[in-house]
Structure 1
Amino acid sequence: MRIKKIISQYRRDFTAEYECEHCGFMKTNSGYDDANFHNNVVPNMECEKCGKKADSNYRPLAPKYPEDYQI
């Protein structure tokens, strides 16, 4: 899965549209805007339709705020 579009964000919590790179399945879910979420959680999300995870060439988004920045 990958983040296609961030719909709303409050501090580091956000709601986004996620899309499967393999079958195109879309779902809306929440997330947390930090490096761990973008680098580890998103690429390991399993698609509900085809059951696949992100490819090895997955490029994560960068967090909106630096890690040490308190919002």
Structure 2
Amino acid sequence: MAVATLDEDRADPFHSHVEVDEGIMECQGFRSGPSVQRAVRVLAEKVPGAEGVRDRTEVMLTSGQAML
């Protein structure tokens, strides 16, 4: 999964973490938006032996965005 994210322009492997427990891949970390969330899910689902994906990523705010 980590190697696949290196080839994916929209995924930043330095702000993400993947753990596998009994075939379920849990993605944690930060993403820039919904397109990255979908891309990471698609990559995870393509990993041989993956039985499911649990997405626990959060939107990463840029310096120009304010938290409300």
Scaled by the length of structure 2, what TM-score is found? Answer: 0.35
More helix by share: 2
Larger RCO, structures 1/2 (Cα 8 Å, 6+ apart):
2
| TM superposition score normalised by structure 1 | 0.34
